[in-house]
Amino acid sequence: MKINKSIVFYFGIGGILPVIYFVGENIYRGLYDPTTLEFYTDLFRNILISYGMVTSISWVVLLSVELVDKFFPWHKNIWRRFAADLLITPAIAVIAVIPLAALTYLIYNQYDTFQVHMIKNVVITIVMDLILVAVYEGVYFFKQWKQSLLKTEKLEKEFLSSKFEALKNQINPHFLFNSLNTLSALIHEDVDKSEKFIDEFARIYRYVLENQENIAVSLNNELTFVKSYLYLQQIRFGKSLKSEIKIDASKLDFMIPTLSLQLLIENAIKHNKVTKSDPLKIKIYNEGEYLVVENNLQLRDEKNDSTGIGLNNLKERYKLMTEHSPEFVVTEKSYIAKIPLIKEI
C-alpha cells in the first residue's frame, strides 16, 4: 500500500480525533462553556496542534509499517511479522511523539503536569498506532485476497488454454498418422517391438487423459510419460534421434506444469533436422532448481507453422505458479530450455 493513497484517510483522523477529545474532556471537566467565544478559540488552537501531531504520527506509523514489511514480509514468517507490528511500530511511533509532545506542552497546556501530559500522548500514540496498523494490514490482506481470486481465475483460463494446446499437440492427425505409419511398418518387421510400440502409445494417451485436469504433476510422473513419448519417436527416427536423461533422485518429487517437458521435446524435434547424417541429440537433466532440456541446434531449412503459443503459454503458467520464470537460451551450437522445479503448488 502506498502512503499517498491513504493521505486523505489519515488527515481525516488528524482532524476528527482532536475535536472529539477536546470537546469531550473540556465539557467533562467543566472548563469551558460551549456557548462562549473562548471555547471556540481554544478549540481551533487545539485542533491545529493535535491535527499536526496526529497526522505526523500517522505518517511515522505508515513509514514504520513499510519498513517492517521490507525486513519482515508476511510470506517469510507470519509470527515474526505479527510481533514486529505489535512491538516495532509502536516503539517507533512513541520515539517520534516524545519531542512533539514536549513541544506542545511548552506551547499550550492548561491543566496537566508535564508527566501526565507525556503519558497521555504516549498512550494515545500507542492506541493510534495499533488502529492504523490494523487498518493498514486489513486493507493489505483484502487486496491480497482479491488478487488471489483474480490469480486463480486467470490460472484456470491459462490452464484451459494449455490443456487445449497440449491435447492438440498430442492428439492431432499428424502425430496419429506418423504413429500409425510407424506401427504399420513395424508389424511386418518385428511383432514383439510392435506390441511394445502399442503399449507405449496407449500409455501416452492414458497419461494425457488422466492428467489433463491437473495444473502440475511430479517430475517423476512426467518423466515416465516422456520416456514413452521418446520411445515412439525413437522407433520412428531410429538412430537419427538420440536422447539422454540424467535427473537427481532428490528432484523427482518436485512439480512442473503438466505436459511441459513433452512440449520442449516436441519443439526440439519439430524445429530441427533429424537425420542419420545429422542426428538430433536431446539431453534432459537438472541444474540446481531447474530442469534443463538441451538439444544440438540444426534448424530445418523449411519454415514450419510455429506460432509460439506453446512456449508463451508455458511462461504465463509459470508466472501464476512461482516467482521464477523459464529461460530459453540459443547458442551457436545448442538450444537450451530451463524450466523451474516447483517444491509445492
Q: Please check whether residues 256 and 146 belong to one and the same domain.
A: no
Q: Please check whether residues 310 and 182 belong to one and the same domain.
A: yes
Give the domain-ending residue among 151, 182, 214.
Answer: 151
Kindly report the average pLDDT of the chain as a whole number: 78
Considering the domain boundaries, does residue 162 fall inside one? no
Give the domain-ending residue among 151, 183, 204.
Answer: 151
Considering the domain boundaries, does residue 14 fall inside one? yes
Q: Please check whether residues 114 and 235 belong to one and the same domain.
A: no
In 171-239, which residue ranges form alpha helices assigned H by DSSP?
A: 173-189, 191-211, 219-237
Considering the domain boundaries, does residue 164 fall inside one? no
Closest alpha carbon to 104 in 166, 36, 26, 49: 49
For residue 189, the model assigns a pLDDT of 73
Q: Please check whether residues 89 and 227 belong to one and the same domain.
A: no
Q: Please check whether residues 95 and 195 belong to one and the same domain.
A: no
Q: Please check whether residues 270 and 329 belong to one and the same domain.
A: yes
Considering the domain boundaries, does residue 345 fall inside one? no
Considering the domain boundaries, does residue 156 fall inside one? no
Considering the domain boundaries, does residue 255 fall inside one? yes
Check: CB of residue 256 under 8 Å from CB of residue 342.
Answer: yes
C-alpha cell read off for 17? 480525533
Question: Which residue spans within the chain are E strands per DSSP?
Answer: 216-218, 241-246, 255-257, 280-287, 290-296, 327-330, 334-340
Res 34 pLDDT > 90: no
Strand-pair partners of 255: 218, 342
Q: Please check whether residues 47 and 196 belong to one and the same domain.
A: no
Domain span at 274:
171-340
Q: Please check whether residues 188 and 145 belong to one and the same domain.
A: no
pLDDT tens figures, 166-204? 544 544 455 666 677 777 767 767 777 788 888 888 888
Give the burial string for 12-44 (b: 16+ CB within 10 Å, else e). Answer: ebbeebbeebbeeebeeeeebeeeeeebeebbe
Considering the domain boundaries, does residue 245 fall inside one? yes
Q: Give the position of cell 502409445.
A: 201
Higher pLDDT among residues 135 and 15, named by residue: 135
In 240-336, which residue ranges form alpha helices assigned H by DSSP?
A: 260-271, 309-321
The CA-based dihedral angle spanning residues 47, 52, 56, 61, taken in that order and rounded to the nearest 10 degrees:
-10
Residue 253's domain is classified under what CATH number? 3.30.565
For residue 340, the model assigns a pLDDT of 96
pTM greater than 0.85 (yes/no): no
Give the domain-ending residue among 116, 151, 186.
Answer: 151
Q: Please check whether residues 44 and 96 belong to one and the same domain.
A: yes
Res 16 pLDDT > 50: yes
Q: Please check whether residues 189 and 249 belong to one and the same domain.
A: yes
Closest alpha carbon to 54 in 85, 79, 88, 20: 20
> In this prediction, what percent of the chain has a pLDDT beyond 70?
72
Q: Please check whether residues 35 and 139 belong to one and the same domain.
A: yes
3-state DSSP assignment of residue 330: strand
Considering the domain boundaries, does residue 60 fall inside one? yes
Question: In total, how many domains does the chain have?
Answer: 2
pLDDT tens figures, 312-342? 888 888 887 888 999 999 999 999 999 999 9
Check: CB of residue 101 under 8 Å from CB of residue 122.
Answer: yes
If 0-12 CB within 10 Å is exposed, 13-18 middle and 19+ buried, where does residue 139 land? middle
Q: Please check whether residues 131 and 29 belong to one and the same domain.
A: yes
